[in-house]
Amino acid sequence: MQTDRSFLEIIEEYVESDKVTLPPFDKTALRIQQEIQKKEVQISKIEKLIIADPAMSSQILKVANSAFFRGLSKVMTIREAIVRMGLDEITRMALILTQKKLYETNDTFIKNYRNALWQHALVCALVSQWVAREAGFEETTQEVFFASLMHDIGKLFLITVIEKIKSAKDVPFMPSSAVINEIIKGQHAEQGYNLLKKWNIPDKYCQVAKEHHDEKFDTTNVSLIILRLVNKTCNKIGVSIEKNNDAATSVTAEAAFFGFSEIKLAELELQIEDSIKRVGSHYNIGGPAK
Ligand SMILES: [Fe+2]
Ligand SMILES: [Fe+2]
């Protein structure tokens, strides 16, 4: 047990020593994501990618035959699943199914953080697509979904580090949630950026992870601006581990960029509340944070 250093210093030591790693980014999900952004999407290519991954294939067939599609004939092949769910939904499912695995844990103390982080990531991703459509950036919906799903991956990494410190009994007691939240808040953007870079994720997504809390932001990266708007609104209404009631939650600049009125911003809050229900029912993969 090491008591002569601060909790933050112990975390930094773990990060620098590579004692903790997240599994590499799922290659199938990444290739599907790249494929669907091409001008002429080839269904056969996406079909082949999914078939080559038995675990993903069986999960997608399970979803295509789930209660949501009850009453329809049983889907037996990936091609039929693509037809039933559509390419956009298949891509979303591929990303969601592979990302969800990273948020699973048996540690009860950490579980609540992971649940809350997963809910926040998924809600941000779904609602960002809504914003993209409402703001006239329909063509960016896939990109913005991915960017938003990954924007706080640094938080997941830091929670994984804390989990490791806890199981190694490297601290005499676990600090309060307030201390943990403060550390995560301050460090996650940089850690997320480093992780996405390590995974060879394209730059525009790394930039979203890095700059989503910065005061100044790149006004040419539409995904970044959409995510900032959704993220701040999530934080404002408590769909986040961050409780931000200060001026930093003001979405004035982002709302002005899209010409969103007060009414539209109220609609955005409703979309967030609605998507929490979707996360719990249709996707059935991320219960609300406790
Ligand atoms: Fe964040
Ligand atoms: Fe966030």
Instruction: Specify the pLDDT at position 166.
Output: 87
Contact residues for 84 (Cβ-Cβ < 8 A; gap 6+): 64, 69, 72, 75
CB-CB neighbours of 24 under 10 Å: 10
Measured between alpha carbons, how far is 109 from 121 in angstroms, rounded to an integer? 20
pLDDT at 104 over 70: yes
pLDDT at 288 over 60: no
- Residue that the structure tokens 């697509």 belong to: 129
State the alpha helices, DSSP H only, in the chain. Answer: 7-16, 27-36, 43-51, 54-64, 78-85, 87-100, 108-134, 141-150, 153-167, 177-198, 203-211, 222-237, 252-258, 262-280
284 compared with 142, residue with greater pLDDT: 142
Q: Which CATH architecture has domain 7-22+87-280?
A: Orthogonal Bundle (1.10)
Nearest ligand to the C-alpha of residue 213?
1
The alpha carbon of 48 and the centre of ligand 1 are apart by a number of angstroms equal to 35
pLDDT at 3 over 80: no
Instruction: Specify the pLDDT at position 246.
Output: 52
Across 69-73, 101-105, 196-200, 262-266, least confident range: 69-73
Task: Give the residue from 95, 121, 250, 98 showing the smallest Cα distance to 192.
Answer: 121
Instruction: Specify the pLDDT at position 110.
Output: 87
When pLDDT is cut at 50, 70 and 90, the band that residue 24 belongs to is: confident
pLDDT at 154 over 90: yes
Task: Give the residue from 115, 161, 111 showing the smallest Cα distance to 9.
Answer: 161
Q: Tokens for 236, please give them.
A: 């404002």
The alpha carbon of 250 and the centre of ligand 2 are apart by a number of angstroms equal to 15
pLDDT at 188 over 70: yes
When pLDDT is cut at 50, 70 and 90, the band that residue 203 belongs to is: very high
pLDDT at 59 over 90: no
Does the pTM of the predicted model rise above 0.85?
yes
The alpha carbon of 169 and the centre of ligand 1 are apart by a number of angstroms equal to 28
The alpha carbon of 218 and the centre of ligand 1 are apart by a number of angstroms equal to 16
Instruction: Specify the pLDDT at position 249.
Output: 61
pLDDT at 231 over 50: yes
Nearest ligand to the C-alpha of residue 149?
2
State the average pLDDT for the chain: 87
Nearest ligand to the C-alpha of residue 121?
2
Measured between alpha carbons, how far is 64 from 85 in angstroms, rounded to an integer? 7
Instruction: Specify the pLDDT at position 117.
Output: 93
- Residue that the structure tokens 């998507």 belong to: 275
100 and 285 Cβ atoms separated by less than 8 Å: yes
pLDDT at 245 over 80: no
Instruction: Specify the pLDDT at position 289.
Output: 36
